[in-house]
Amino acid sequence: MNYSVPDMKKLATEIRKDIIRMTCEAGSGHPGGSLSSVEIMVSLYFNVMKHDPKNQAWDDRDRFVLSKGHVCPVLYASLARRGYFPPEELMTLRKFGSRLQGHPHRLKLSCLETSSGSLGQGLSIASGMAIGLRMDKKSPRVYCLMGDGELQEGQVWEAAMTGAHYKLDNLCGIVDVNGLQIDGRTSDVKNLEPLADKWKAFGWHTIEVDGHNVEALISAFREAERTKGKPTVILAKTVKGKGVSFMENKAEWHGKPPSKEEAAKALKELGETC
């Protein structure tokens, strides 16, 4: 079932509220990059990907790898809103015994394709999945969400070479280009530009898009599906902390949860009335 664009925009707001509530309740977590990735996740889980919450092991499902595993609040909220587990469970984030670990843990939550959290590894995992599906002559696609600061890890570029070498047109990478990482601006820590030219030079079909525009994202994912003979990367330009004015474009919200007072203020900005 594909959701309409208006419904996805409403869902994006609800997921942002979930992220604020979850990280506030946990007293830890990563709200900044979770908030910047919302429309990417909504586009994938509510329109683009083939998957079935009632048949989680469906052989023909598309695969998703969250390489920047610290933004798991946005993944968990998307999964809950899509029906993989009750939304009430979101409030157990990072609590002892919870299935919702601080980084995705496949052995705790079976609807995940893989555990993640060590930055730079996700595209390698996704490439292996894509190769395996091809060897088995199966049609599902593999999607991998990375952070822009994560691209400073050399393993990403080894995986990029692998994807191009094996012409993995069933593989789609997405980079959340919010321009910030834990230590500040990516341009100051280790400049990534010219980013699009780098991916093109590594043999990838490269699409640049507004990462908060659901229609543009869906169009980019469809273009990736039509592209044959090479993998695709979508460079999604976003705002870290998107939707909460005092978090937007602030590196300090990379891994700092909101206090109860800050959460109340954020939820009010997002339209919470009670």
- Res 21: pLDDT: 98
In this predicted structure, the answer to whether residue 274 has a pLDDT above a threshold of 60 is no
In this predicted structure, the answer to whether residue 180 has a pLDDT above a threshold of 80 is yes
Residue 157 lies in a domain: yes
Q: Using CA atoms, how far apart are residues 257 and 223, in angstroms rounded to an integer?
A: 36
Residue 46 lies in a domain: yes
Mean pLDDT, rounded, for 240-269: 98
Name the residue among 115, 157, 147, 114 with its Cα closest to residue 33: 147
In this predicted structure, the answer to whether residue 238 has a pLDDT above a threshold of 70 is yes
Name the band, by pLDDT with cuts 50, 70 and 90, for residue 211: very high
Q: How many CA atoms lie within 13 A of 138 on its CB side?
A: 17
Crossing angle of helices 260-269 and 5-26, in 10° steps, is 170
Percent of the chain as helix, strand, coil, to the nearest 5: 45, 10, 40
Q: Residues 6 or more apart from 182 whose CB is under 8 A from it?
A: 149, 251, 254, 255
Mean pLDDT, rounded, for 217-227: 98
Mean pLDDT, rounded, for 250-269: 97
In this predicted structure, the answer to whether residue 203 has a pLDDT above a threshold of 80 is yes
- Res 182: pLDDT: 95
Q: Using CA atoms, how far apart are residues 17 and 271, in angstroms rounded to an integer?
A: 9
Residues 132-161: tens digit of each pLDDT: 999 999 999 999 999 999 999 999 999 999
Measured from the Cβ of residue 208, the count of other Cβ atoms closer than 10 Å reads 17
Residue 93 lies in a domain: yes
Residue 77 lies in a domain: yes
Mean pLDDT of the chain: 97
In this predicted structure, the answer to whether residue 216 has a pLDDT above a threshold of 60 is yes
Q: Bridge-partner residues for 65, per DSSP?
A: 144
Name the band, by pLDDT with cuts 50, 70 and 90, for residue 272: confident
Question: What domain range is 237 assigned to?
Answer: 5-269
Residue 274 lies in a domain: no
- Res 2: pLDDT: 83
Q: Using CA atoms, how far apart are residues 215 and 223, in angstroms rounded to an integer?
A: 12
Predicted TM-score of the model (pTM): 0.97
Q: What percent of the chain has pLDDT over 90?
A: 98
In this predicted structure, the answer to whether residue 16 has a pLDDT above a threshold of 60 is yes
Q: Using CA atoms, how far apart are residues 235 and 152, in angstroms rounded to an integer?
A: 15
In this predicted structure, the answer to whether residue 236 has a pLDDT above a threshold of 90 is yes
Residues 45-95: tens digit of each pLDDT: 999 999 999 999 999 999 999 999 999 999 999 999 999 999 999 999 999
- Report the CATH number that the domain containing residue 157 is assigned in CATH: 3.40.50.970
Total number of domains constituting the chain: 1
Q: Using CA atoms, how far apart are residues 145 and 169, in angstroms rounded to an integer?
A: 16
Residue 37 lies in a domain: yes
